[in-house]
């Protein structure tokens, strides 16, 4: 290098000069918790399984479509879930007025 060209190392700012620009690692005030536990299939019970239902016939009918969904092939499961989701959305929209 020539004397007229500054060395890149000599013109770089010091770490102390960058401390206000690039913050260091932070400590968390609360411990990080893992994701919520997902219930095992044996723990999941349809709402209307005990005969009480939800009190809303449209919701009970939609949820009733899920009873045998595990026995369906994957494509039929998707169609069923989409139909139930649509029916529940429609019912919610009706309830909200």
Report how far Cα 63 is from the mean position of its chain's Cα atoms: 22
- The tokens describing 61, both together, are 């009918």
Cα–Cα distance measured from residue 93 to residue 97, given in angstroms and rounded to the nearest whole number: 6
- pTM assigned to the model: 0.48
Q: For residue range 44-91, list pLDDT tens digits in order.
A: 555 555 567 888 888 888 888 998 888 999 999 999 999 999 999 999
**Burial label, 62 (beta-carbon count in 10 A; 0-12, 13-18, 19+):** buried
């Amino acid at each position: 290098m020539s004397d007229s060209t500054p060395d890149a190392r000599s013109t770089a700012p010091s770490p102390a000069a960058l401390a206000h620009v690039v913050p260091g690692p932070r400590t968390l005030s609360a411990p990080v918790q893992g994701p919520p536990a997902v219930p095992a299939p044996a723990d999941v019970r349809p709402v209307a399984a005990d005969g009480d239902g939800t009190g809303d016939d449209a919701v009970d009918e939609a949820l009733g479509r899920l009873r045998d969904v595990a026995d369906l092939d994957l494509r039929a499961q998707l169609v069923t879930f989409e139909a139930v989701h649509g029916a529940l959305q429609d019912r919610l929209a009706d309830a909200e007025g």
